[in-house]
Amino acid sequence: MMVNEIDLEINLSDGVIPKLLKSNFETQDYDDELYRYLVTDIEESEDALSLVEKKYGKLVLDVFRYTMDTDDPRLDLLSNDYFRLSQEDKYLKFIENVFYLNEEKVYVDFVYFSDENKILQFIENKMSRLDRIDSYILLNQIDIMRKDQNDMYLIEDLNLLKLFIKCFLREILWCNLYFPKHPMIVSTGYDLGLPVIVKDKQDKENYIKMAEDSRLFLKDTGKIVAPKL
């Protein structure tokens, strides 16, 4: 009983805004082909991602089971802000489970922008799309990025990771997340669809199950199409 009471106590650390941590990918000790492949080609990240997609295949984390036809009336939901925001908790639940599965470590890169100032300007222009507490967190990251000017950082805080997922879904940030323990890449996408690459077959099956548990679909875009009625 005493342990539960201690766990409920408010600490000074609860008032500290989470932050990105400096990280040099090339000094990490993860012996993983997918991880290393992208790190060594980080200057040409988009080309590296394309090559990895060809080797391992690309999945999409989506709220829709099937890829919709152009005349599907549900396409209108993608321009409905209420609908989009109402789906976010599903993604946040999934990413929380993924975070703990990967021992609370995930790397993030900002290599889609060659100029650090362009990243910061892009983010600041989109700030109005965030809730107030999330804007506090993101502004803190902008300060860190201005000082460090790195392309890559480490995330060890769940609230910070959830902010990134919200930014992905609201199309505020353009970057990649790398989960190293059970190698997976999650990237910014469009219309609630987040591109995903998973190296290992067993990990892929586990992630698909985790998505379903969160009422999402981790689907192979090349194979799954809507059935004809």
Q: pLDDT-derived band of residue 11, with 50, 70 and 90 as boundaries?
A: confident
In the chain, what is the straight-line distance between the N-terminal and C-terminal CA atoms, in Å? 57
**Domain ranges across the chain:** 20-220
Residue 164: what residue type?
A: F
> Is the pLDDT at 229 greater than 80, yes or no?
no
Contacts of 44 (CB under 8 A, 6+ apart): none
Q: What percent of the chain has pLDDT over 70?
A: 75
Higher per-residue confidence, 226 vs 186 = 186
The pLDDT score that the predictor gives to residue 43 is 53
Mean pLDDT, rounded, of the chain:
82
The pLDDT score that the predictor gives to residue 173 is 83
Lowest mean pLDDT among 77-91, 126-140, 215-229: 215-229
Contacts of 109 (CB under 8 A, 6+ apart): 42, 45, 151, 152, 175, 176, 178
> Is the pLDDT at 74 greater than 60, yes or no?
yes
> Is the pLDDT at 62 greater than 60, yes or no?
yes
